[in-house]
Amino acid sequence: MRMTLTQQGTADSGGAAFDAIEWALRLGVAIVYVGIGCEKVFPWRDSYWVKMFAEIGFGQWFMYLTGTIQIIGGLLMILPRTALFGAALLACTMIGAILTHLFLLNTGVGGAVIPAAFLGLIVAAVGRRFTDRSGAQPLDLR
């Protein structure tokens, strides 16, 4: 396959352009959530997550469920075709975390800031796909 540059400076190989920023955001989200999910599914003895889920009161099964959802969501973020579904799964866990901090753990807004920031990162990672960047100069690596 031959790659050429158009007059606008974009690489034209007949396919969709590769968005390096979107890819980096999706890969970053994937790494973070697979890591966090693994901490919940395979906790060590004095794990922060074991203590926090005990304080929530739903039982440890909920920690394993949340971790599994986060691992699956993180893996789905890697592929562009499944990224939106992965983001939806991860967003649900973060909305749950925000509500848990506000109403069950009574940590207030201060405790909900970190899950809210992660929710923003998830939205940014998939939001670029749905924005008009027609004037942008994407990098095509095909």
Domain annotation covers residue 50: yes
Domain interval for residue 31: 19-130
Answer whether 86's CB lies under 8 Å from 57's CB. no
Q: What is the pLDDT of residue 8?
A: 46
Q: What is the pLDDT of residue 52?
A: 92
DSSP bridge partners of 18: 139
Cβ count within 10 A of residue 130: 7
Domain annotation covers residue 137: no
User: Model confidence over 116-125: pLDDT tens digits?
Assistant: 999 999 999 9
Q: Considering its fold, how many domains does the chain have in total?
A: 1
Q: Tell whether the model's pLDDT for residue 115 goes beyond 60.
A: yes
User: Model confidence over 13-45: pLDDT tens digits?
Assistant: 544 567 788 899 999 999 999 999 999 999 988
SS3 call for 139? strand
Domain annotation covers residue 49: yes
Cβ count within 10 A of residue 33: 28
Domain annotation covers residue 140: no
SS3 call for 82? coil
Residue holding tokens 């920023």? 21
Rounded (10°) CA dihedral 78, 64, 53, 122 = 10
Domain annotation covers residue 89: yes
User: Model confidence over 123-132: pLDDT tens digits?
Assistant: 999 988 777 6
Please name the residues in contact with 42: beta carbons below 8 A apart, sequence gap of 6 or more.
none
Regarding pTM above 0.85, the answer is no
Domain annotation covers residue 8: no
